[in-house]
Amino acid sequence: MAERCRLIAAALLVMLACAPCVAEDPREPAVVTLRSGGMSVELQRASGWTIQAIVYRGVPIITPTGACGAVACIPVAGGWVGSAHTAGGVERIEEVRLIVDGEFAELTDGATYTGERLVLQKRSMLDKLRLDGMLTLAGGVLTERHELTATEDVIVTTVYPFMYCVTAATTEWMATTAEGEEQTGTFGAGDELSWHDDWSWTATYIPERSMGVAIRHLAHPDEARTLTGYWDQERYHKLHVRWDAEEDRWREGFTLAGEMALSCFEAPPAGWREMARQVASELVAE
């Protein structure tokens, strides 16, 4: 069952639907925008208050071409659950709140919230997994922390705790391993998802806009192997993070947690890699 679920993962990833977030209005597609330091982040209620798009200084970086957020493949529930994936049920929001510069703000459809520091906190259920998430936007840097906990024994074959639909306008990528080895590659819409188990950070570049984005692992679970890779498609170059626990059976109380940071930068084509290294080095956990 576990192997079968992994083999069909790529096909299931594109099966999107509107996921209900609250019992009183499960289909409401409310969108709110957070702004700080030149970055705008759109969040979609119908997909569990996950990222729908990120724009930096007018340039689309993360596009509304697929699902972001956290998803898990739970065979007994029917498959993938979380964010916009509903084969295994919908992500059930239990609590969500927005804090803007230390003050609570009501989430209102269509509203834009601007500040020095904006924090969205949520608790939701992905079948038998509790997701505690925190998204922080401050000074043009986005960080996300996700913690998944089994509320009872359950088989979980695959977990993607973080996903980012990087724009298809990017043409190449670079990455640095925990040991400092640098790797590079190009995109070609080859419909491939190649995994790397030692990336510390990665960056991509949009030559026509002289814009890049760096994404770094700030923390990853000791109880699971962390893999990172781009799904190279025509509509996006989607960055996936995968956690492989030692066992598919998650015992009640078993928890995995990690944190990612994302920052954008401007640089000429000849200097984008050096700028990416600098920006990535500045992404640190609070």
Residue range(s) defining the domain that contains residue 114: 2-168+187-199+219-256
Is there a domain that residue 30 lies in? Answer: yes
> Taking residues 163-187, what's their average pLDDT?
97
Is there a domain that residue 272 lies in? Answer: no
If one counts the domains in the chain, the total is 1
List pLDDT tens digits, range 105-155: 999 999 999 999 999 999 999 999 999 999 999 999 999 999 999 999 999
- CA nearest neighbour of 165 among 230, 227, 232, 237: 237
State how far the Cα of 218 lies from the Cα of 283, in Å rounded to an integer. Answer: 8
* Paired tokens of 79: 């498959």
Q: What is the pLDDT of residue 27?
A: 38
Which of residues 1 and 249 earns the better pLDDT score? 249
* Paired tokens of 263: 């920052």
> Taking residues 276-281, what's their average pLDDT?
98
Is there a domain that residue 228 lies in? Answer: yes
Portion of the chain with pLDDT greater than 70, in percent:
90
Is there a domain that residue 64 lies in? Answer: yes
Domain harbouring 66, CATH code: 2.70.98
Q: What is the pLDDT of residue 14?
A: 33
Query: What band does 214 get if pLDDT is binned at 50, 70 and 90?
Result: very high
Contacts of 92 (CB under 8 A, 6+ apart): 20, 21, 124, 125
Is there a domain that residue 213 lies in? Answer: no
Average pLDDT, the chain: 91
Q: What is the pLDDT of residue 28?
A: 64
Q: pTM for the complete prediction?
A: 0.89
Is there a domain that residue 278 lies in? Answer: no
Is there a domain that residue 211 lies in? Answer: no
> Taking residues 267-273, what's their average pLDDT?
97
Is there a domain that residue 157 lies in? Answer: yes
